[in-house]
Every structure is written in structure tokens, then in C-alpha cells.
Amino acid sequence: MPHFLDFDYFYRLDNPELWVGIGLLLFIGIVVFVGVPKLVAGALDAKAAKIQSELDEAARLRAEAEALLAQIRQEKAEAEAQAAEMLKAAEADARRMEVDSRAKLEESLTRRQALAERRIAQAEAQATADVKAAAVDQAARTAEALLAARLAASGDDPMLAPAVARIGAGLN
């Protein structure tokens, strides 16, 4: 049994435990009267409010960070998609340019071949014309020499000399 329930022992004025209990009750009464519990509760409430505001700020910052991360991921995805599109476009342009270059090269080669064939044909025609002209000149000189030799052997014929001159002029 606890001592404070024993009336004869605990509630005597010479008992120090009684005075400690009375002092404790007076201290608690003064503390309550002065408002220490309200101050402690206010301090605890202020501390709790500060902690709550820090938690709210941390939650807000986390939400902002998550939103920023989502935005960065979206921008990264868009940049990757744009880079892929640019790569596809560049590849398509390269293929198109390759086809165009091949077509232009083939066209250029065809034109050069046609030009070379025309020049060869012109050179052949010129050579043929030169050979014919040389043959005609040679035939005229040979005919003139033969006629001159016959004339010299047969004597001077007044009609033959102008005829031979006309033949030589007509052949050139």
C-alpha cells in the first residue's frame, strides 16, 4: 500500500514526504497559474508549424522538381524525335542527291559521248573531203602531165592547150 494512502503516517506535519508533496503541488499550481503549459504548448505549436511549413516547402520543391524532371524528359524525348526526323530527312536528301547526281552524271556522259561522236563524224567527213580533194588534185595533175606529155610528143595543137587548162580549172 502506498504511503500517501496511510493517513496516520503520511499526513503528519513532521513528515518530510508531506512537505515535498505540498511543495510539488504548489510548484505545479504556480506553473499552471503563470501559464507555462500555454507557453510550452505555444512553443510546441510554433515548432510544429515551422516543421509543417518546412514539410510543405519540401513537398512543393519536390513537386516542382518532379515537374521539371518530367518537362526535361519530355524535352529530351522531343529533341530525340527531332534528331531522328532530321537524320531521316538528311538520309532522304542524301539518297535524293545521289540519284540526282547519278542522273546528271549520266546525262553529262551522254552529252559528252554525243559531242565526241559528232566531232569524230566531222573529223571523218573532213578527212574524207580532204582525201577526195587530194585525189582530185592528184588526178588533175596526172591528167595534165599526161596531156602535156602527149602534146609534147604530137606537137602543138592550138585547141588542145586551152581545153587542158579548162579541165584543170574545173577539177579544182
Give the HSE-up count for residue 65: Cα atoms under 13 Å, Cβ half-sphere.
6
**Residues in the chain, how many?**
172
With beta carbons less than 8 A apart as the criterion, state whether 19 and 36 touch: no
What is the per-residue pLDDT for 153? Answer: 73
Residue 170 to residue 128: CA distance in whole angstroms: 20
What is the per-residue pLDDT for 172? Answer: 57
Give the H/E segment covering residue 166: helix 160-171
What is the per-residue pLDDT for 1? Answer: 47
DSSP H helices, 35-159, are 36-154
What is the per-residue pLDDT for 158? Answer: 66
Give phi and psi for 11, each to the nearest 5: -95, 25
What is the per-residue pLDDT for 6? Answer: 65
What is the per-residue pLDDT for 35? Answer: 87
As a dihedral over the C-alpha atoms of residue 142, residue 148, residue 151, residue 153, rounded to 10 degrees, the angle is: -90
Q: Which residues of the chain have pLDDT under 50?
A: 1
Residue 172 to residue 166: CA distance in whole angstroms: 10
